[in-house]
Amino acid sequence: MTCARCQQFAAAPGGTLCAQCAVPAPPLAAAPGAALRSPVGLGRAAATLLGLVVAADLFAVVADVLEMNVTGDIADGVTGAGVIHRADRADLLYNASGVAQAIALLATMAVYLCWLWRVRGNAEVFNPGGHSKARGWTIAGWFVPVVNLWFPRRVTLDIWDSSAPWAERPSHALVNCWWGVWIVSLFADRAADTEYRHADAAAELHDAARQMLFSDVIDIAAALLAVLVVLKITRMQHQRALAGAVPAPAFG
Q: What is the pLDDT of residues 171-219, one digit of tens each?
A: 999 999 999 999 999 999 999 999 998 988 899 999 999 999 999 999 9
Neighbouring CB atoms inside 10 A of 209's CB total 25
So where are the chain's domains?
A: 40-242
8 Å CB contact between 247 and 166: yes
- From residue 226, alpha-carbon distances to 40, 55, 128, 175 in Å are 16, 14, 25, 8
Closest CA to 251 of 8, 51, 21: 21
What's 9's DSSP letter? S
Percent of the chain with pLDDT over 70: 83
pLDDT attached to residue 53: 98
Q: Please write the tens of the pLDDT for every residue from 45-61.
A: 999 999 999 999 999 99
Helix (H) or strand (E) holding 17: none
CA 146, CA 106: separation in Å to the nearest integer?
21
Written as one letter, the residue type at 221 is A
Beta bridge partners of 10: 2
CA distance 76 to 19: 78
pLDDT band per the 50, 70, 90 thresholds, residue 168? confident
Listed range (2-6, 61-65, 109-113, 165-169) with the worst mean pLDDT: 2-6
What is the C-alpha to C-alpha distance for residues 120 and 99, in angstroms, rounded to an integer?
31
